[in-house]
Amino acid sequence: MRRGVWYQLGFNTQIVVKDFLQAGVGVGVIVSPKDLAHDKAIEHASQYRSDGADVLLDPQFYVPEYSAGKVGTYPTAAFRQSITTLGAVTERDLEGLARALEDENRKFGTSAVIAPALPYEAARPDIAALNSKLFRAAKKAGEAIGVPTYGTVAISQTLSNMELVEKALSSATAEEADGWYSTFEFKEERLPTDVDDVFRFANASLTLACTGAPVLHAFAGPISILSFGSGATGTAVSFWQNLWGFNRERWKESADQQGGGGNAPPRFFSAPLWGTIVYPDEALQIDRELRREIMLSTSYSAPTERDLPWDKWESYRHLLLSVANNVSDIASATTAKGAMEMAAARLERAVNLHRRIERTVPLRDNTSKYQPVWLEVARKMLAEKEQDYEYFEMTRPA
């Protein structure tokens, strides 16, 4: 698994990602069957590989009966059915799934096979057993192609304490995976603000990383600032809010494609704030000297330097580039502990800057609510996980 920032593809993101890869930003792309039809996705995957990126295909079995729209164009769609029906799959069925996974991943030229899996749930041993069967099918596909197989570890909200999370991790790590495609289902918030939840996320990631196999944080979004300090080798980002954290609602018929804010004004993502401010409404209320400190420009944000109208699509590109560049910087730390120290320092600065702003300008939508929580988690990891960090450095992937 390549170290650095990966792009989690969603609705209408294919061209933006291509531009970033050609500029040397990012190391890989994760294709979404929900958002891109099979044949068109293969074309894009070929382009991404030509641009030097690795490609992965997320089979998206999180809601296994979902087969609507573009998902139905993939060979694995034939195996999408209810959990009850899936639980009764035969070895013959699994052979068929293995062939479908092999077919898809060969055509996409993936660098590894991601195993289909359902989110781990409390008091659901049947799901752990089913995930084991699905992993075996993926492993056959990976071995046939000659690429690694990544086990999918999706932690649901029902695993509400670390003991339950560790039980799920124990089930997952019983498989002979070559890496982990890991994601965490937080409560219904734009970004998570519960200290215990975020700590479980970071702790679970470090636990997986201590197996000696690389971890890729899926659906990370802005919380990717904590990924490399939690032992991850890669982290997946997007500018769509419905990809800022794992949410099964996305695989329902009525799900909004992008979750991008409708007709709301653009938001300027500030790396120093590790958050957004509404442009121009909030931005123009901030003292000009402080504004220069927080509104760091990219090639997509030039109009904001002159207080001119700014296209919302350009604001999305600016956000993604800012996150990718800053998280790539953290990924360059030589140790996971060092990466968490970098994250903590940046979050501490963000908290202090928000305090300065909010003395005079109240910011909307609780945009300054999550940074103090993430800072607390970073400090908690550094204070309580010293032995885990030491062990990880002895076992970490080359």
Taking only the tens place, the pLDDT of each residue in 262-293 is 578 999 999 999 999 999 999 999 999 999 99
Give, in order, the Cα–Cα distances in Å from 267 to each of 239, 293, 349, 367, 380: 11, 17, 20, 11, 31
Least confident of 29-33, 102-106, 142-146, 361-365: 361-365
Residue 260, pLDDT above cutoff 60: no
What average pLDDT does the segment 85-107 reach? 94
- Structure tokens, 374: 């993430």
Residue from 245, 80, 240, 216 nearest 156 by CA: 245
CA 142/CA 311 separation, integer angstroms: 43
CA 354/CA 294 separation, integer angstroms: 10
- pLDDT above 90 coverage of the chain, percent: 86
Least confident of 31-35, 55-59, 377-381: 31-35
- The band of 261, judged by pLDDT with boundaries at 50, 70 and 90, is low
Task: Say if CB 66 and CB 57 are below 8 A apart.
Answer: no
CA 330/CA 274 separation, integer angstroms: 13
Torsion of the alpha carbons at 310, 313, 314 and 317, rounded to the nearest 10: 150
- Structure tokens, 34: 């929900």
Taking only the tens place, the pLDDT of each residue in 168-225 is 999 999 999 999 999 999 988 889 999 999 999 999 999 999 999 999 999 999 999 9
Taking only the tens place, the pLDDT of each residue in 49-88 is 999 999 999 999 999 999 877 999 999 999 998 888 888 8
Q: What is the pLDDT of residue 396?
A: 84
What average pLDDT does the segment 240-246 reach? 91
Residue 48, pLDDT above cutoff 90: yes
- The band of 89, judged by pLDDT with boundaries at 50, 70 and 90, is confident
- Edge-to-edge strands of the sheet including 234-237? 54-57, 28-31, 4-8, 234-237, 215-217, 179-184, 149-155, 113-114
Q: What is the pLDDT of residue 99?
A: 98
CA 77/CA 88 separation, integer angstroms: 17
Q: What is the pLDDT of residue 334?
A: 96
Residue 374, pLDDT above cutoff 90: yes
Residue 257, pLDDT above cutoff 60: no
Residue 254, pLDDT above cutoff 60: no
Q: What is the pLDDT of residue 392?
A: 97
Secondary structure string (H, E, C) spanning 135-169:
HHHHHHHHHHHCCCEEEEEEECCCCCCHHHHHHHH
Task: Say if CB 149 and CB 106 are below 8 A apart.
Answer: no
Taking only the tens place, the pLDDT of each residue in 142-168 is 999 999 999 999 999 999 999 999 999
Q: What is the pLDDT of residue 151?
A: 99
List of domains in the chain? 4-251 (3.20.20.300), 267-389 (no CATH)
What average pLDDT does the segment 36-47 reach? 96
Residue 228, pLDDT above cutoff 80: yes
User: What's the first-to-final CA gap in the chain, in angstroms?
Assistant: 10
Q: What is the pLDDT of residue 255?
A: 52
Q: What is the pLDDT of residue 209?
A: 97
Taking only the tens place, the pLDDT of each residue in 315-370 is 999 999 999 999 999 999 999 999 999 999 999 999 999 999 999 999 988 899 99
